[in-house]
Each structure stands twice: as C-alpha cells, then as structure tokens.
Amino acid sequence: MSAWRTIFIKELKEFSRDRRVLATALLGPFILELLLILGFATVNEALEKPQAHTVLVVNEAAGAPLLEPMRASGLFKLKALPDGADPAEALRRKEGRVVLVFPDDFGEGFANHEAPEFTALFDPNETVSRVALTMVRAVVQKHTELEQRARMVLRGLDPESFTPFVMKEQQAETGKAFAGAWLVSFLPYLIVLWAFYGGFSIVADLVAGEKERGSLETLLVTPVSRSSVAVGKFLALASVSLASCLSALLGVVVLAVVRVPALEPMFGEGLALSPLSAIAIVATLIPLVLFFSGMLLAVSTFGRNMREVNGYLSWLSFVVLVPAIASQFIGYTEFTTSPWLPFIPVLNSATVLREALMNNVDLYRFLVTLAFSAVLACAGVWLSVRLFLSEKVLLRT
Amino acid sequence: MIRVENLSKHFPDPKRGAIRAVDGVSFECEPGQVFGLLGVNGAGKTTLLRMLSTVITATSGSASVGGHDILREPEQVRRSIGFLSTTTALYARLTAREMIRYIGSLYGIGGRELDRRTDEVIALLEIAPFADRLCDKLSTGQRQRVSLARTVLHDPPVMFFDEPTAGLDVLAGQTIMEFIESQRDAGKTVVFSTHVMSEAERLCDRIAVIHSGKIAAIGTMEDLRARTGRTVLEEVFLALIQEVAA
C-alpha cells in the first residue's frame, strides 16, 4: 500500500474514534440542518400568516363608509381613539399601528360622490406601522376602484372603457426547482459553510496538534516522503469536509421525505433534481472542498500549536463567510450575469450550486467555475505540500 | 556505522543573527558500540540527531548513516535507523498493536511479514497484556515500550536515542537502559544522547561531550578522566565544557 494511503486510512480511523469529530463534522451538519430549516420554516409561517393590525380611529361615525370594508377584510382591529387623545402619542405608545383621522364631513362628502380627504397617521420608525399602512393603502385602493366603477355605472358610463390596459401575470416555465425559493437561495450558503467548517474540528489537531504532542517527529523519521504525509492528511481532511456537506444535504432530503406540514411551503411539491444538476452539485463541491482543505491544512502546518492555528482559522473564516453570505443575496441583483462572477472564489461555487438546485445550470458559468476552483484547489494542495517540505515551518514549535 | 564530518547547523535569527546550534561536529561510531552525546539542555544534541535522522538538513558538512549519505540518500538513511526520544509520541486513538502496525506499514512492511514482526516485538517488549488498548489509556511506561517496539520493528542497524529516559520513573528508565544494552549486544550502532552522567557512564563505550554546538572532547570514560585529571564524571564534564567556554 502506498504511504499516503496508509496515512489517509490511519487518519480516518482516528477520526472515526473521536466523538468530537463524529458530533461536529458528521452528525452536527445533519442535525443543525434539520433545526435551521425547521426554525426558519416556523418563523416564515408566522410571518406569512395574516396578522390583524390595530388601527385607531378618530371620528368613527364619519369614517363608516371606509371602515366597513376595512372591518370586512379581517386584516384590522379597529379601535376608536378616546376623545381628546393625542394620535401621535397613541402611536408612540403602540396602542395602534396606524391612526385614521376622519373629518366630520367625511361621510357626507362620500355620500355626495365627492372626494373627501382623511389622514392616515403612521410611525415611520416602526416597520410594523409601515406594514400596517401598506395594508390600509391596499384596502383603500381596492375600495376606491369599486366606488369608481359604481359611480361610473350610476352616470351611465362603461367602466371597462376607462381601463387603459390590463396586466396578466403568468409564471414562466424555467424548470422545476429543487425546492421552494427560500430554501434554494439558502441551501448553497449552508453547503459552502459545511465544506469549510466540516474540517474545522480536526484541522488544528492534524499537523499543529501533532507538532505539539511530538507525534509528527515519529512520522518524520520514517522513510515516507513529506509530500506523502501531506497528501495523506490532506485527503483525510477533504473526506471529512465532503462528508459534512453530504450530511447537511442528507438533512434536507430527510426533511423533504418526512413531509413535515410546516415545511410544505418550503419544499413545494417535494424535491426535484435533474441528473445534470446532481452532477453539477457534486462536481462543484469537490474542488471547493479540496480548495478549503488545502487552505486549512496549510494553516495547520504553519501554526506552532493548536492555539495559534485556531487564531488563524478565525481570520480565515471571514474570507469564506463574506462571499458565502453574499451568495444568499446575489439572486436579488444583476451580478448573477456578470462574466466576472465565475472568478470570485466561494461566491462562484455558491452561485453554481444555487443554479443547480434551481435545475437551471448555466454551462459556461459551471465550467469556468469548475476550472477556476480546480486551479485554486491545486494551489491549496501545492501550498500545503510546500509548507510540509519546509523544515522551518514544519518544525516551528 | 556512522561517520560525521564537520557537520553544522545554523538557524537564522532576526535578533541574534545566525545561531550555530551545531558547529563543525565530527565523530565516528562503530557497530556493537554505544556512542554517547553528553551535554546540557540546548547543547545541540537533539539538533545533531535530527540532522543524522534527516528530519532537518545540515547547513554544511557531511555524514553517512548505515552507509547512506544524509543529504543524498535521506530515505535510505531513515529506512536504516530507529529513533526514540521522550518527545516522540504515539497516536492516542490507535491501539498499541495498531500503532506498531501503522509504523511498520510506513516502512513498507506488509502482509505476513508485518504480522510476524508485530507479534515478535510485542512478545519481546511484553506488550501483549495491553496490545489492544488505546495508546491514550496506557501508562507512561507502557507507552515507552510501544515506542521502543515501533523503533525496532523494521530491525534497523542504527539506533538513535535522544534523552529516552527523561521524565520516566526508575523502572521505566531501567527498561530503556536494558533495551539499549540489548541492541548494542545485537551488534547495532547506537547513538545515545543524555545529560545524565550516570547513564552515560553505564551505557557508553565512547562519549562526546558537546557544549554550545561544539564537541569539547571525545573518548572513552578513561580517556576523558585522563585528559581532565578528574575521576568523578560530573567534574570531568564541567572541566571539559569550561575548556570550550574559555
């Protein structure tokens, strides 16, 4: 058996006996994925459930023509503001989200087919107040249209002839996504994170830990070349990172199969993944994992001890976290079509993963990302092997 | 057999300039002999042994170990040596047997030969009662036996022992001393580094007193006593390193 394989198998054997590794690198991604998705689904469900906002009313009797449809919509809890109370103060004290102030002649003006004014007072610093205002606006808009049509009919006019155009909204057939939109935009971020953090629990121990304990010297006095030692350790680290990603993906699949009611909006009609997309996901993940593993192993080789390595790893996390976080929001921007995107490490892979999950892989972007990630992966491996060959680095304690 | 000629190792230091950890060291060591490196901590013993075992490269000079040049044939050198120090550790999550087999595999021993050699060293060093226990769960003495086993598994003709008894209790230390004697008796070339005078006196056929990276004197115990005119080894040692310091 070649030396690197012997080292690779030994490292995997040691990892498999380390409860910390099993918990954080293998079981952790699976459980965290379940908890994260369930947690977000619960929050999402709560947000999407229509919430009746309290609307305070000044001069309720005068505002009756508008308050009736508002009450009927079921979206508001209408409450009369006590006489003499300050509407702004009532908003500040959050007694209501919006205050509607009707003048005494509002009802009369409405009955006479005039356009009476009323005031909607809201708190611009409160998101909920702004949301409530939008809902009030929608009901007012709808009721205005109905009233306009009724008045036209009363005057013998055909309301349709006053409609300049009608917009029809239709969903385009761009292919069935892997899951609901939210999950598709969030999942690449999680996969990228596990490709990096999967190896976190073992990397400091892998070389710096061996330096600290003195077992590295045991290895260095054998006839095995240092590049074989580096390659064996590198592949072991990459395997654990890849296993973390797959464990996270397995968590998603399990949730989709179990069909938890709260997750219905998230998974839609279940999971759908074309063979091309599945290949694209694995093909994108492998060089990404190799790139991360190369960087992590280089850090572990460079560090004098585990403590120093953990310090470097905190900084390295930012390098990975920033583009990973950006990947969540890139779908909202035009940057998705930029020719430069495939050359931005991490973000490029996350974008391809997102497209693959939408079953909408752009072949050019996929291939360029793959090639660029492969170059970075080679650079990562080269760097870690190079550091392993440097006695100044390898033996710094 | 070991031949060392004018071997040096300098480490660059931004504050102090080049540190001469080993400075122009020369000696020879024959099979069936224990050659002692006697010096205080930081004298350069470990650096010298690391160069000879090709863990680090020499800045200048040359050496051959077991007939192989340390610069041109590092892999063959490592194949022909066994290296033990108290700082060389075992893998906590491997059993003693797995540890021995792992190192054996790295020396290219496989199949039945590996089984045979593993069983042999386990019997030789009386490891059997704890052979299937994780190294993490072994006592210091048991660990040291496993370390000895992995050192001799490939039956190397040259053995390096770098302060192998440091931190060990009397019994564990005794096991190591007896083991070194057995290796010498088996005709192996042994280099033994220590700062403990009594160990050097007991084991070494020839001793090199090393101080500040330089060899202060080489010879048998009698040679060194005659040169300094002292009989107590500590006094002999102090007299020799004072010569270097002067």
Q: Is residue B215 very low, low, confident or very high in pLDDT (cuts 50, 70, 90)?
A: very high
| pLDDT, position B232 | 86
Tell me the pLDDT tens digit for each residue of B145-201: 999 999 999 999 999 999 988 878 888 888 889 999 999 999 999 999 998 888 998
CB contact under 8 A, B103 and A395: no
CB contact under 8 A, A215 and B89: yes
**Helix, strand, coil proportions of chain A in percent (round to 5)?**
70, 5, 25
CB of A227 within 8 Å of a chain B CB? The answer is no
| pLDDT, position A296 | 93
Q: Which of B78, B103, B105 sits opposite A1 (nearest CB)?
A: B105
Separation between Cα atoms, residue B107 and residue B117, nearest integer Å: 12
Separation between Cα atoms, residue A24 and residue A3, nearest integer Å: 28
Tell me the pLDDT tens digit for each residue of A161-180: 888 888 888 877 666 555 56
Separation between Cα atoms, residue A223 and residue B33, nearest integer Å: 24
| pLDDT, position A377 | 87
Report chain B's mean pLDDT, rounded to a whole number. Answer: 92
CB contact under 8 A, B91 and A14: yes
User: Is pLDDT at B21 greater than 80 in this prediction?
Assistant: yes
CB contact under 8 A, A223 and B102: no
- Please check whether residue A70 is in contact with residue A55, taking contact to mean a CB–CB distance below 8 angstroms: yes
Residues of chain A short of pLDDT 70, as ranges, are 1, 47-48, 50, 173-184, 265-272, 331, 397
CB of B137 within 8 Å of a chain A CB? The answer is no
Q: Are strands A53-58 and A76-80 parallel, antiparallel or unpaired?
A: parallel
Count the helices and strands in chain A (H runs, E runs).
Answer: 18, 4
By C-alpha distance, the chain B residue nearest A215 is: B89
| pLDDT, position B166 | 83
CB contact under 8 A, B88 and A18: no
- Please check whether residue B172 is in contact with residue B144, taking contact to mean a CB–CB distance below 8 angstroms: yes
Chain A residues with CB under 8 Å of B53 CB are 221
CB contact under 8 A, A1 and B91: no
Chain A residues with CB under 8 Å of B75 CB are 223, 225
Q: Which of A213, A224, A225 sits opposite B89 (nearest CB)?
A: A213
Distance in Å, alpha carbon of A389 to nearest chain B alpha carbon: 10
CA distances (Å), origin A152, targets A109, A114, A149, A165: 17, 13, 5, 18
CA distances (Å), origin A136, targets A55, A100, A143, B166: 9, 10, 11, 82
CB of A10 within 8 Å of a chain B CB? The answer is yes
Tell me the pLDDT tens digit for each residue of B175-185: 889 999 999 99
By C-alpha distance, the chain A residue nearest B79 is: A223
CB contact under 8 A, A14 and B94: yes
Which residues on adjacent β-strands are paired with residue B37?
B193, B208
The pLDDT > 90 percentage for chain B reads 71
CB of A326 within 8 Å of a chain B CB? The answer is no
CB contact under 8 A, A224 and B94: no
- For residues B109 and B86, the model is more confident at B109
Q: Which of A6, A18, A223 sits opposite B93 (nearest CB)?
A: A18
Chain B residues with CB under 8 Å of A13 CB are 93-94, 98
By C-alpha distance, the chain B residue nearest A17 is: B93
Q: Which of A220, A394, A301, A208 is nearest to B55 (CA)?
A: A220
Contacts of B143 (CB under 8 A, 6+ apart): B90, B135
DSSP B159-221: EEEESTTTT--HHHHHHHHHHHHHHHHTT-EEEEEES-HHHHHHH-SEEEEEETTEEEEEE-H
Q: Which of A385, A397, A377, A18 is nearest to A232 (CA)?
A: A385
Q: Predicted ipTM?
A: 0.90
CB of A19 within 8 Å of a chain B CB? The answer is no
Tell me the pLDDT tens digit for each residue of A256-303: 777 777 777 666 666 667 788 888 888 989 999 999 999 999 999 999
**Strand blocks (E) in chain A:** 53-58, 76-80, 98-101, 119-122
Separation between Cα atoms, residue B140 and residue B117, nearest integer Å: 23
Query: Cβ of A183: how many Cβ atoms within 10 Å?
Result: 24
CB of A220 within 8 Å of a chain B CB? The answer is yes
